[in-house]
């Protein structure tokens, strides 16, 4: 099985909770950030983890998510909305409730796109988010 090119059945994706999609999307987003950091020479090995935190923290994700909201399709907006409205047990230090919910929404969207095999769309959105 190729877990990097895994377009899942739509019925299976529909049965995954928003928090489940966010859990997967967190890993997808983190891998994309780590790859971007390495390819852009943004940090040495010692500083990669610290540099990644500037992109993967809830406040950072929430800020970057704002860049893509205007270009999301209706279906993507719905996944984002469901992710944002999912109930989480705890909010990490350093993040507001709104930031954490927006970051969760972004992760749910990335998880959903990944499972659908929409890597081109993932790359488009990620590129928009990383533009300064």
- Residues with active-site annotation: 26
Q: How many Å apart are CA 39 and CA 36, to the nearest integer?
A: 5
- The length of the chain in residues reads 132
Q: How far apart are CA 67 and CA 65, in angstroms?
A: 5
What's 58-120 look like in SS3?
Answer: HHHHHHHHHHHHHHCCHHHHHHHHHHHHCCCCCCCCCCCHHHHHHHHHHHHHHHHHHHCCCHH
């Amino acid at each position: 099985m190729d877990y990097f090119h895994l377009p899942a059945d739509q019925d299976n994706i529909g049965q995954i909770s928003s928090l489940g999609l966010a859990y997967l999307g967190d890993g997808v987003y983190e891998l994309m950030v780590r790859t971007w950091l390495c390819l852009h020479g943004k940090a040495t090995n010692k500083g990669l983890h610290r540099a990644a935190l500037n992109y993967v923290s809830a406040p950072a994700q929430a800020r970057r998510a704002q860049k893509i909201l205007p270009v999301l399709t209706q279906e993507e907006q719905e996944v984002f909305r469901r992710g944002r409205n999912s109930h989480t047990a705890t909010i990490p230090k350093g993040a507001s409730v709104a930031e954490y919910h927006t970051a969760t929404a972004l992760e749910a969207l990335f998880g959903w796109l990944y499972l659908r095999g929409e890597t081109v769309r993932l790359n488009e959105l990620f590129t928009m988010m990383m533009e300064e």
